A and B are shown apart, each in its own frame.
Chain A
């Protein structure tokens, strides 16, 4: 009997999402390349949003400089590939490790700053890295950056698993990473660490008074966030086949992380997923119509969301659900 009781949540938790993901992958495979590209951006968007959400949404660390981690992941994996020939998928992990070190380093210094001051410090730090990447021409190739020539396909026992001249290979990897991050976030937020982070977000003095080592918690959140942001960066650069200061260290990336979370719903598990969907679709439309002005429009959107929909799309949906439930409740009462 007990076994039967446990099956239904198991189906809910694992089987249904797994089927949904397989169906999604099959659908994407049949899509025209342009839409495949959008789907890859969508997955990268989820990774970026969820990473930022973990430190910014749950931990309350308002970083405006996540491009620092994104760019570091992108540069390290690309340079390792171009200069020494290390496979970008290994370089991705090296970049991730470097981003963790970076997060611990800047965390230890900047996390003593609160709120807006932390935001400014991280923004500045990302700028320092961007300008450095531009000027260290011998290493980074300066403003033009570095071109990644053909990435060798991935073999297991001489059988080609992933062929990187095909967009689908990137899609599978991006989807897998997004999924892993989603699960990790789920577990962190349902653990002691998740509550430590939320307490710290709400009131640091209270958190400390309850025995929570806030600095360590914040550095942990920032490190996990940095790791996945860097992985997204490595994925992006190997997908685009190039790395340059503006695209990977620019404000646009930092802004994208924040916008996705704000649009979807800050501090919620599904917020970044929904946010990435909205953001990527909007970006495709806006860039189509306004070209280079899309950054301006993104800024305006950020303000609109913060002012009128502070809980993002998730907030709107849950409000709708609640009002439907309330109506049902009233009918029952009548």
Chain B
């Protein structure tokens, strides 16, 4: 059974169709890679699923409930969490508080949330930095923090928007391990990514989107050898190499 069923999803910005008649099934506890050129509608799709944008038409069934048109906080409460392409760390709150605010809604009270925050900080590896502000964090630490905050809402489905972007080779490996570990704990993950090496090794299934439409779907190997995908996104050099 699929966790999330997207049917005929369309989002227009004025005359521009950012996502057009998009169908997608997200199976329970898979890692799904979503790739495509810049401006192809990947982030728009995330924003529609997480409730930031209201789609022009179509439906999104999550656990058999249509969540189209619901507010972002409602969707979060239904256990869909997301991270942001440009990490949005709350600057005037400490690292600890940044995770804490994620844990708050589901916790009975502040002290329960504090306990939970501790475990997430341990999991993500930021315990020693818990009293610092984001200005003294490295870029990759900010990205970790963003993920920890999203995890603290205890999602079933986690939408990761370019978690590997801007990281060096070593950090990419670390993050891949981290994402696998999150996946092992039972979270379904959809990952938008440009770092091919990362997304190919992580994903069990890949969906390619171009100009708002799905052009390919399948295992990483199938997608890489697909002609349309090579033409639209990967380029012939990738296929050859």
Contacts and interface: CB of A to CB of B under 8 A. Distances in A.
Interface of A: 190-192, 195-196, 198-199, 201-203, 205-214, 267
Given A210-B153, A212-B73, A205 B88 contact: yes
A267 B91 CA distance: 14
B81 interface: yes
Nearest to B109: A192
Interface string B88-132: 101111000100111011110110010000000000000000000
A212 B105 contact: yes
A203 B90 contact: yes
B76 interface: yes
Contacts of A196: 101, 104
A209 B151 CA distance: 12
A196 B52 CA distance: 18
A198 B110 CA distance: 14
22 contacts: A190-B110, A191-B110, A192-B110, A196-B101, A198-B93, A198-B97, A198-B101, A201-B92, A203-B90, A205-B88, A206-B84, A206-B88, A206-B149, A207-B101, A208-B76, A209-B81, A210-B152, A211-B76, A211-B77, A211-B106, A212-B105, A214-B73
CB-CB nearest 10 A-B residue pairs: A208-B72, A211-B105, A211-B76, A202-B90, A199-B101, A211-B77, A208-B73, A206-B88, A213-B73, A210-B102
Nearest to B47: A205
A195 B71 contact: no
Nearest to A208: B72
B82 interface: yes
A279 B142 CA distance: 40
Interface residues of B, number: 31
A209 B104 contact: no
B10 interface: no
Contacts of B72: 205, 208-209
Contacts of A207: 73, 101
Nearest to B90: A202
Contacts of B92: 198, 201-202, 267
Interface string B146-188: 0001101100000000000000000000000000000000000
Contacts of B101: 195-196, 198-199, 207, 210, 212
Contacts of A195: 97, 100-101, 104, 110
B40 interface: no
Interface of B: 50-52, 71-73, 76-77, 81-82, 84, 88, 90-93, 97, 100-102, 104-107, 109-110, 113, 149-150, 152-153
A203 B82 CA distance: 15
Contact of A210 (B76, B91, B110): B76
Contacts of B82: 209
Contacts of B153: 210-211
Contacts of A212: 73, 101, 104-105
Nearest to B92: A202
Contacts of A190: 110
B238 to A, nearest CB: 33
B109 to A, nearest CB: 7
A210 B52 contact: no
A196 B50 CA distance: 19
Nearest to A201: B92
B50 to A, nearest CB: 6
Nearest to A204: B72
Contacts of B73: 207-214
Contact of A205 (B52, B91, B152): B52
A201 B97 CA distance: 14
Nearest to A194: B110
Nearest to A212: B73
Contacts of B102: 210
A303 B104 CA distance: 37
Nearest to B91: A202
A267 B152 CA distance: 25
B74 to A, nearest CB: 8
Contacts of B104: 192, 195-196, 210, 212
In the complex, which of the residues B51, B82, B97, B104 has the most CB atoms of chain A within 10 Å of its own CB atom?
B104
B179 to A, nearest CB: 19
In the complex, which of the residues A192, A202, A206, A211 has the most CB atoms of chain B within 10 Å of its own CB atom?
A211
Contacts of A267: 92
A208 B77 CA distance: 10
A201 B76 CA distance: 19
B97 A203 contact: no
B71 A208 contact: yes
A207 B149 CA distance: 11
Nearest to A203: B88
B90 A206 contact: yes
